[in-house]
Structure 1
Amino acid sequence: MLQTRIIKPAEGAYAYPLLIKRLLMSGSRYEKTREIVYRDQLRLTYPQLNERIARLANVLTEAGVKAGDTVAVMDWDSHRYLECMFAIPMIGAVVHTINVRLSPEQILYTMNHAEDRVVLVNSDFVGLYQAIAGQLTTVDKTLLLTDGPDKTAELPNLVGEYEQLLAAASPRYDFPDFDENSVATTFYTTGTTGNPKGVYFTHRQLVLHTLAEASVTGSIDSVRLLGSNDVYMPITPMFHVHAWGIPYAATMLGMKQVYPGRYEPDMLIKLWREEKVTFSHCVPTILQMLLNCPTSQGQDFGGWKIIIGGSALNRSLYQAALARGIQLTAAYGMSETCPLISAAHLNDELQAGSEDERVTYRIKAGVPVPLVEAAIVDGDGNFLPADGETQGELVLRAPWLTMGYFKEAEKSEELWQGGWLHTGDVATLDGMGYIDIRDRIKDVIKTGGEWISSLDLEDLVSRHPAVREVAVVGVADPQWGERPFALLVVREGQVIDAKALKEHLKPFVEQGHINKWAIPSQIAVVTEIPKTSVGKLDKKRIRQDIVQWQASNSAFLSTL
């Protein structure tokens, strides 16, 4: 082992642990009068937020929550959720952000697996909770969250209603110091097979992630996104990787924050307009929903900066948003990575290039943020060159990556094989450090021995003027092994068939963007493309649907 120099600190020196409570200290210092807004129902200042967090800590402690216990939250995006993201880990407990869009069976599994002790339940989810309550094995007590006048519900072992409990609690709490490596948060990520897997993050990881996130979004001039004068509204659920960690950064910076509750297009646009929102983040499908909803038609969204993650950002969506005044920036991460790994950055060389080149790099996964190491490897774990052409699995190291899956030793070892976190994404790295995600390993299409990126095809198909949404998957083919299949949602009053799509893609073949065998020979025009619980394309379900359509010779299909 390397012999380094270590000096013994003074006996009275304070060993400063990196705890989430440190992030809360700054907001009220910087901007005491800035507001945390919940829909059109409630407004808080930062001192009031801090006081409510202390009150919640007292409520939970009085309910028997101890350090190391897991406290679950079932709520829409709200001031309450923000308070839980601080109060629960600050008393040494673990906050379990439940994905309320999972099936009841999956929610039941995650709650029992996480060993939840106390659950905070929004009144909208009382029926869901009642249906699984009899099968929960570790839950002792519940708290009710409400927006309306009715402050009661039939919940087992109900302690009381959130606001009434906070009103009766002390506004002071002495949040203790403890080990910064204590687990602070947990949530569950779904895959193509098996039960959801529990990822978890420590106080140290979340503090470091917050500092890196604030640094990148606020200091890189070419894509400056987030400063203390911005107004922040999440459009990524707070149950999904802590709303990408931005609420922690926004609170640290003392920003005005706007929480929209349940995602309703009319309410989102109303809040954007009335609260003067300047910064958000979401997956592509949510942005498409906003751009296409009736309320947004004719609306100029000038000044709105949005980070797109979760799925690839294609050029068509980028340009459609830009035409409406929205500046999009791509970023990359996963549930397992807390999530920020990389973000678009236009260096001096790219800034001097053409507009087309700048767009090309704005929609890529971007450059690894500080403290992140990225590499690509082949199937045997050998490192591959960062030449912008060679494809391999993207592997990562960073101080905020989950150290494993909760109570899943074998899957944890697979995740961290060779000392690098394996993403399951096929990517290239280039000489400037740019990550270009080519596909999920499980979604790459192999036809006639050649690999085709479903993401590349989706980008090119989306440029057809009739196409509003697209998903491309590989389907079994007796001659070629697999062939691309395109699922399309068309714009109102437009039509498209497989032959028209082929004509649209021909120029891209001639220009060398794709090979001719990449052109889908079958398409299905549908009214909606299946999505996962967090708004991503659900390609597993899409493949299943296509098999059923093919078996029934569905009229949805169009064949060359």
Structure 2
Amino acid sequence: MNTETMIIPQAAPSASYSPLLIGELLDSGVRMAGTNQIVYRNLYRHDYRRFRERVHQLAHLLSAQGVKAGNVVAMLDWDSHRYLEAFFAVPMIGAVLHTVNVRLSPEQIHYTMAHAEDDFVLIHEDFLPLLEPLAKRLPRIRGYLLCQDTPSKREPVLPLVGEYEELLAEHPAHYDFPIFDENAVATLFYTTGTTGNPKGVYFSHRQLVLHTLCEASTFQSPGFELLNRDKVYMPITPMFHVHAWGVPYTATLLGATQVYPGRYEPDVLVNLLVDEKVDFSHCVPTLLNMVVGTEAITSGSVDLAGWKVLVGGSPLPQSLATKAWELGIDTRSAYGMSETCPLLTASILPQEINGVDFESQLPWRTKAGMAVPLVKLEVVDESGIALPHDGESVGEVRVRGPWLTQDYYKEEARSKELWRNGWLHTGDMAVLDEHGFLQIRDRLKDVIKTGGEWVSSLELENLVGQHPGVAEVAVIGIPDEKWGERPAVFARASDVNDPPMPEEIRAFLQRFVDEGRITQWAIPSLVRFVDEIPKTSVGKLDKKRIRHEL
């Protein structure tokens, strides 16, 4: 392209440029929200104006403790109003918010905090025993701010600067936030893989603002209306995990009522859903399965009709979507990664599908969906050649977009593996159909090759999960001398006292072989019912541990 012929306007001498900074999301939300509220369990409740004042007070508090632009502030808390305030206050003063994954092992937590070079820490009382043994190995940290839900007499070992609410009250409700480069880093967190230490993923103000605007647009698409000012939102995705998929930023921009559940306890979640009249949540399939499996739901004493749930992290099984629908719960799918902020696709139904019955919509609802605005997505073969949109050609998903992490923090080799030839490579195997709908077939590392045939562990999980005697299922490949690998099914029974026999599961799958949905090679050699299936720190099936432990 000959850029010499392009017209580049000259700004007027008095014109100003407004950078895309997170603080603009907060101010827009306060204007929009009216009397809508921020709620934390049954403990705290205040409106958006007070929320903004608390963000300003937190900025003063952090500055008084010596936190400056470029410093890294770690957060260890349950999903709370405090966490939401830190989402804004820390980046708005130019510092970086490190959302620590509290479900990692102590050694992994130490690694992430040392690698991030954390300067200051906000910590919930519940996590003091976790961090106290590590403190001497984190000499850079200058202080710890205690977060409490109720007063406690526990004597902490850490050098606390005070308690969150007590210190917050000492500071004024207005802070003059600086204006700075929109490309400044705003957030940092760590994602685990199959090997090696956790990898640092970070995002700038610009990336988070653009992601928020796109997510807000996506959540108001025809037939996909999930969130607006009049909705009540409650996350069931931890706030340490990709900013709870970025939805707290989007909910704030739109001025929606926000409910934060603290520690995830099934009965508490259900009570909040009912008492606060929650309209919209998001979670991984295992957490949705946990909620709909609570006694209050199964007994029929609680009605969740009208609740909309966006499912991601892992594909939404058709059996779970059907179970939810029978309870009046409307589920849809979305797809992304920690490295992609995370939104890449959403199951916004094609026009001709949008008005049909649930059974006809079901296959579309459980696919990953179409690329959201500003995302370019391809499925490519091993040579990097884009495959046709025929719903059959399987390849790796690669993407481009304005909010993808540009590299792993201080990880040059891993960054080169993530980004190749100008594309972020996801490691997910998928197909694209003629509508541009993406369907994930498997992780590249989880696809099973048996007797020269490729078998999708995700497809098998979806089919086995349709058996009425199966509550939860994971499929992995196990070594086989003759065939290289064979599928193995590990399942949790709906009735622990009467699990199906392995032969029954194989016979159930045989009908899908007869229908041509799967090959004979997909019939598992091993079917085992277990009490519990290992999960990762964010509730996904942990196939690495499954291979090791089961």
TM bin (shorter chain): over 0.9
CA contact (8 A) 1:468 1:488 kept: yes
Q: Counterparts of 1:346 and 1:494 in 2: how far apart (Å)? A: 39
Q: Counterparts of 1:427 and 1:466 in 2: how far apart (Å)? A: 29
Letter in 1 for 2:321: Y
Q: Is 1:545 matched with 2:549?
A: yes
Match in the other structure for 2:467: 464
Residues 87 and 152 from structure 1, CA distance in 2 versus in 1: closer, same or farther, beyond 3 angstroms? Answer: farther
1:473 is displaced (CA, Å) by 0.3
Say which of 524, 530, 537 aligns to 2:534: 530
Match in the other structure for 2:260: 259
Q: Is 1:512 matched with 2:528?
A: no
Q: Counterparts of 2:365 and 2:35 in 1: how far apart (Å)? A: 35
User: 4+ residue runs of structure 1 moved beyond 3 angstroms?
Assistant: 351-357
Match in the other structure for 2:352: 349
Q: Which runs of 5+ in 2 are unaligned?
A: none
Match in the other structure for 2:115: 113
CA contact (8 A) 1:117 1:138 kept: yes
Q: Counterparts of 2:295 and 2:359 in 1: how far apart (Å)? A: 30
Q: Is 1:376 matched with 2:373?
A: no
TM-score, scaled relative to structure 2 = 0.97
Deviations 1:367-422 (A, max 9, x none): 00000000012223222222211111000001000001000011111111110000
Percent identity of the aligned residues? 56
1:155 is displaced (CA, Å) by 4.3
1:140 is displaced (CA, Å) by 1.3
Match in the other structure for 2:328: 325
Say which of 103, 106, 118 aligns to 1:104: 106
3-state SS, counterpart of residue 243 of structure 2: helix
Alignment of 1:124-135 (within 5 A): 124-135=126-137
Match in the other structure for 2:140: 138
CA contact (8 A) 1:92 1:184 kept: yes
Say which of 151, 161, 168 aligns to 2:163: 161
Q: Counterparts of 2:358 and 2:33 in 1: how far apart (Å)? A: 38
Q: Which runs of 5+ in 1 are unaligned?
A: 547-560
1:157 is displaced (CA, Å) by 3.0
Residues 352 and 46 from structure 1, CA distance in 2 versus in 1: closer, same or farther, beyond 3 angstroms? Answer: closer
Q: Counterparts of 1:531 and 1:2 in 2: how far apart (Å)? A: 53
Say which of 414, 422, 428 aligns to 2:425: 422
Q: Is 1:188 matched with 2:200?
A: no
Q: Counterparts of 1:385 and 1:491 in 2: how far apart (Å)? A: 40
3-state SS, counterpart of residue 421 of structure 2: helix
Letter in 2 for 1:504: F
Letter in 1 for 2:329: I
Letter in 2 for 1:57: A
Letter in 1 for 2:280: F
CA contact (8 A) 2:429 2:440 kept: yes
Alignment of 1:12-27 (within 5 A): 12-27=14-29
3-state SS, counterpart of residue 67 of structure 2: coil
CA contact (8 A) 1:498 1:521 kept: no
Q: Counterparts of 1:5 and 1:282 in 2: how far apart (Å)? A: 46
3-state SS, counterpart of residue 146 of structure 2: strand
Deviations 1:235-271 (A, max 9, x none): 0000010000000011111111000000011111111
3-state SS, counterpart of residue 193 of structure 1: coil
CA contact (8 A) 1:55 1:172 kept: yes
**How many residues are treated as equivalent by the alignment?**
545
Match in the other structure for 1:495: 499
Q: Counterparts of 2:358 and 2:127 in 1: how far apart (Å)? A: 47
3-state SS, counterpart of residue 134 of structure 1: helix
Q: Counterparts of 1:15 and 1:26 in 2: how far apart (Å)? A: 18
Letter in 1 for 2:464: V
TM-score, scaled relative to structure 1 = 0.96
1:521 is displaced (CA, Å) by 1.6
Deviations 1:473-507 (A, max 9, x none): 00000110000000010012432122111111111
Q: Counterparts of 2:398 and 2:170 in 1: how far apart (Å)? A: 50
Say which of 52, 59, 62 aligns to 2:61: 59
Q: Is 1:405 matched with 2:403?
A: no
3-state SS, counterpart of residue 479 of structure 1: coil
Match in the other structure for 1:2: 2
Match in the other structure for 1:172: 174
3-state SS, counterpart of residue 322 of structure 1: helix
